[in-house]
Amino acid sequence: MAWFRGVPASPGGKAVRTGVLLVNLGTPTAPTYWPIRRYLWSFLGDRRVVEACPYYWYPLLLGPILTFRPRKTAKLYHEIWTSEGSPLLVYTAGLAERLGERFANDDVRVEFGMSYGDPNLSGAIERLLGAGVERLLVVPLYPQYSGSTTGAVFDGVSRELARYRVVPELRFARDYHDDPDYIGALASSVRASFASHGETHLVCSYHGIPAKYVANGDPYRAQAERTTALLVAALGIDPAQCSMSFQSRFGPTEWIKPYTDEHLADLVRRGIRRVTVVTPAFAVDCLETLEEIAVGSREKFLAAGGESFTLVPALNDSPLQVDWLERFVRRHGGGWPGLGAPA
């Protein structure tokens, strides 16, 4: 038996030499207990995500966490689930499809996969290699780098390619937190929100990570601060009109601060009762934006005395996102067949 796999047989048609792989975090296949439990096991069982002693962490994870948390999480997923499935999956698939249309005449194949759950990286890479891809650009859909997200993508792609006898030439887009086209698209989405709902204090809410990760060298917080500063400059607003915070903390460990819910309550105490919230760490809308922020944070802000709460949608599979991402992909794949200079 061979140790390594050969390149999958092509299903026919013209072979393409260049591939683009978009990678997102992942989602359960259904908003019910067992699919969520399986998803949380693969996600929270990754040492990149939870840097804890396995002898301590795995009994805790396999015990109370995976016994009780899926029920609570299922209720939240039910609130945002669509007829097409999980919003994260729907928007990621739409983004890959629309980006692929931009390269339809360039012999470039665009696929997407998830670090956890399905559709997985294994299937995406198999489809790309089966199509004849010899050069592969991997684009994690995380604007700011963290070892717990982008680092996990690198691990996952590496594990999958390690199964093959022949691997493609590889490029890896580490982050895009300060990419001018990304900042421009983000600013355009905020301007559109201001035009529709009025200009208010802007809160940039980023997904949090444990504080010890930053203390040990993770650049995530610094990159989030850079994204915020560039967004303020692009909007041309007073820096005092914008603040930043971090959401989605989990467990008793201290995470980077300020926490979004506490920050929103503090804004009310300071007399700021009208806010617009944008989530620059999320390429597409998901549980953390559509439920945690749009529902939970809104309710807490209004209960604390706030008067107006507007959430700016993520860029999702909008033309704004596809436009800037096409230029980004062309720059990072410059010199490869099909990925010429940006238009």
Task: Kindly state whether residues 164 and 249 are assigned to the same domain.
Answer: no
At 10, phi and psi to the nearest 5? -70, 135
The stretch 264-277 carries a mean pLDDT of 98
C-alpha–C-alpha distance, residues 37 and 65, integer Å:
9
Q: Give, in order, the Cα–Cα distances in Å from 303 to each of 58, 93, 199, 236, 297.
A: 38, 36, 21, 31, 10
CB 266 within 8 A of CB 51: no
pLDDT surpasses 60 at 148: yes
- Does one domain contain both 324 and 280? no
In a domain, 338, yes or no: no
Residue 195 domain boundaries: 180-311
Residues 22 and 149 in one domain: yes
- Say yes or no: 194 and 170 in one domain: no
Instruction: State the pTM of this model.
Output: 0.94
* Pair 23, 149 in one domain: yes
Residue 13 — very low, low, confident or very high, per pLDDT cuts 50/70/90? Answer: low
Distance CA 59, CA 33 (A): 19
Tell me, yes or no, whether 236 lies in a domain: yes
Q: Rounded distance, CA 159 to CA 142, Å?
A: 20
Q: Is the pLDDT of residue 237 over 90?
A: yes
155/222 same-domain check: no
CATH assignment at residue 238? 3.40.50.1400
The C-alpha atoms of residue 107 and residue 292 are separated, in whole angstroms, by 40
For the segment 275-302, the average pLDDT, to the nearest whole number, is: 98
Pair (215, 163) in one structural domain: no
With 80 as the cut, is the pLDDT of residue 6 above it? no
Residue 55 lies in a domain: no
Classify residue 244: in a domain, yes or no: yes
Q: Do 229 and 128 share a structural domain?
A: no
Count Cβ atoms below 10 Å from residue 49 Cβ, excluding itself: 21
Least confident of 178-182, 239-243, 248-252: 248-252
Please tell me which residue, 251 or 157, carries the higher pLDDT value: 157
pLDDT band, residue 315 (cuts 50/70/90):
very high
Would the CA dihedral through 20, 248, 292, 74 be positive or negative? Answer: positive
What is the arithmetic mean of pLDDT over 96-115? 94
Q: What is the pLDDT of residue 14?
A: 62
Q: In this structure, are 231 and 263 located in the same domain?
A: yes
**What mean pLDDT, rounded, does the chain reach?**
95
Indicate if 123 and 262 belong to the same structural domain: no
Q: For 181-214, give one letter per residue: b (16+ CB within 10 A) or e.
A: bbbbbbbbbbeebbeeeeebbbbbbbbbbbbebb
In percent, the amount of the chain with pLDDT more than 70 equals 97
Please, how many CA atoms are within 13 Å of residue 124, restricted to the half-sphere of its CB?
28
The whole-number average pLDDT for the span 267-281 is 98
Q: Could you give the number of structural domains in the chain?
A: 2
**Spatial contact of 298 and 311, defined as CB atoms under 8 Å apart:** yes
Across the strands, what pairs with 205? 245
Residues 171 and 203 in one domain: no
Assigned domain for 288 exists = yes
